[in-house]
Chain A
Amino acid sequence: MSPDPLDLSLRGQAAAVAAGEADPAELLDAALARIEQRNPAINAVVEIFPERSSEMAAGAPDGPLRGVPVVIKDEWPLPWRAQRFGAAEMITPSAPGESGPYLALRAAGATIVGVGNMHELGSGSTGAISCYGPARNPWDTERCPGGSSSGPAAAVSARLVAGAVGADGVGSIRYPAAYCGLTGLKPTFGRSAMAGHHMADVSTTIVSGPLCADAADCRLLGSVLFGEELAGGDAAGLRIGIVRDTVTDDVAPAVRDACEAAITALREETGGEIVEVELADLEAAALATVLIANTEGLSGLSPARLNSLSPELSPIGRGLLKYRMLLPAAASVKAHAVRTLMRRRLAAAMEGIDVLAWPTVPAVAPPLAAPLVELPSGTLSADQANVRGAALANLTGVPAINVPVGFADGLPIGLQLQAAWGRDELLLDAAEALERANGRRWVEALPPLAQAATETTEA
């Protein structure tokens, strides 16, 4: 029996359509059926629009994703739908429109089949809070899917679709990729489609990016979002930088072991070397990133505005918005000085290495009911712990990718690779090398929710 085309990889689905072996309308119907069947357990897709999707499928140009269903995060406007940002109320007005990712997907021939859930206002790494109710992790529906791109990640992990578009301002593609066992690319700042985002004119941290099962699919969807082909290479002789810091030391033992094994495997696969590098003040860099990301949108806030927030916003969301007003201006200025410092340090470090590797998040997905993680230093909120490893790429602008590298207690573990500015292609090459090194077993693993389906098939 031939596999359900929806179980093919993203590139496999594209190839099947191009070869006339699959039909865009049939793929759309299959995706809608999947959503109907599996989504109630994970709340990944919060809105579908079959008529609009059918129009996209029927009128799809002959692009690299012709007829392939994808999900887009609730952070991007569509011509028929304003983004809600996972919130009952946004601080900045939103309206329907042709966002950059929408235009890129449409030009590529993709079919947007639904909107993905997200953490309220993009301000959390867990996905535990949303105006739609939280998305759930397909590997364990009582666990956090990661945020803020929670729905896109859960949708791909459960194989509702093979690719989804997220956004990453402080780790928001990489956290859910790690928690859900996916490959997620945070592009170099400014390299991927960003037009139409409500923060596009003010944010210096947010980028759009792909969430897929593996690096080859991220290369395809990433090429669409970048508007240029992300050419493949071989990552031969890869110089892998590691640091000794809280990002590598204050990590759950199973995560640390899996990441160290993956780094060793990557070195062996590429015939490369492991280089210990000095990169001081990562904690300060994480705080600087949070300060910058949380103050860039402050022009939309005023005391009067804060006193009229919707009671439908979560108390955490309301409280954090109000707290932003109390952050000292001197700290924001200092944060920019730290950005300069870390950009220079990272540039110097990158002269001796090709990628920098450390765990994407320090522990596997925590329970939705209590998003806390147990680390050698004690119990921390997942948000507090996760930002340590993710922030540097947003602060400095460099690309970063999460690669699945193992499991602990049935939950995925992710390794983060970061490269120098503009070397997104190298990250994909390195991720593919790592997949080869471990026999692709982590990128082909399916959560229980998706195991009824046939396995993802390579193109």
Chain B
Amino acid sequence: MEASNRAADFIPAGLASFGIEADEVELAVIGAAHAIFWPPILALLELDTSAVPAERAPDLSRPPLPL
């Protein structure tokens, strides 16, 4: 089954599952954000990072520890 980026499906169902209320303007904002973010989120999920050794609790003030 192909992933859907149809906000009409995802947003009301998602909000309803949490019991989150949203007015028309908020729904329009969420729809616009979803249109921007969802396609790259799907692409991100497909990105192969399996070859990257995990960096547990990285210290962001320093470079990663050598492999």
Contact = CB atoms under 8 A, between A and B. Distances in A.
Contacts, number: 121
Interface stretch (A45-53, A80-88, A326-334): A326-334
Contacts of B64: 340, 343-344, 347
Interface string B38-54: 00110111010100111
B55 interface: yes
A96 B59 CA distance: 30
A370 B54 CA distance: 42
A445 interface: no
Contacts of B45: 328, 330-331, 334
B44 A323 contact: no
Interface stretch (A236-244, A248-256, A283-291, A446-454): A283-291
B24 to A, nearest CB: 9
A384 to B, nearest CB: 6
A422 interface: yes
Nearest to B50: A337
B44 A331 contact: yes
B33 A320 contact: yes
Contacts of A326: 10-11, 14-15, 30, 34
A323 B27 CA distance: 9
B26 interface: yes
Contact of A343 (B19, B29, B63): B63
A319 B30 contact: yes
A330 B45 CA distance: 7
Contacts of A397: 58, 60-62
Contact of B61 (A191, A322, A335, A341): A191
A350 B64 CA distance: 12
Contacts of A320: 29-30, 33
A340 B55 contact: yes
A396 B62 CA distance: 9
Contact of B26 (A189, A283, A303, A319): A319
B22 A421 contact: no
A315 interface: yes
A440 interface: no
Interface residues of B, number: 38
A3 to B, nearest CB: 40
B20 A325 contact: yes
A204 interface: yes
A315 B29 contact: yes
Interface residues of A, number: 46
B41 A328 contact: yes
A199 to B, nearest CB: 14
Contacts of B53: 340
Q: Is the interface of A mostly helix, strand, loop or mixed?
A: helix
Nearest to A420: B63
B41 A287 contact: yes
A319 B22 contact: yes
A421 B63 contact: yes
Contact of B21 (A307, A323, A328): A307
Contact of A190 (B21, B36, B61, B63): B61
A188 interface: yes
B55 to A, nearest CB: 4
B33 A307 contact: no
B49 A287 contact: no
Given A334-B49, A340-B54, A204 B60 contact: yes
A303 B19 CA distance: 6
Nearest to B64: A343
B55 A343 contact: yes
A197 interface: no
Nearest to B66: A347
A306 B21 CA distance: 8
Nearest to A304: B19
Nearest to B46: A334
Nearest to B10: A326
Nearest to A340: B55
Contacts of B59: 190
B54 A319 contact: no
Nearest to B54: A340
Candidate in B28, B30, B34 with the most chain A CB atoms within 10 angstroms: B30
| Nearest 10 A/B pairs, CB to CB | A319-B29, A397-B60, A190-B61, A189-B60, A337-B49, A319-B26, A315-B25, A340-B55, A326-B14, A347-B63
29 contacts: A188-B61, A190-B61, A204-B60, A284-B47, A287-B44, A306-B18, A315-B26, A315-B29, A316-B29, A319-B22, A319-B26, A319-B27, A319-B29, A319-B30, A320-B29, A322-B26, A323-B30, A325-B15, A326-B11, A326-B34, A328-B41, A331-B45, A338-B47, A340-B55, A341-B52, A343-B58, A397-B60, A420-B63, A422-B61
Given A306-B20, A323-B34, 4 more contacts: A291-B44, A322-B20, A323-B30, A339-B55
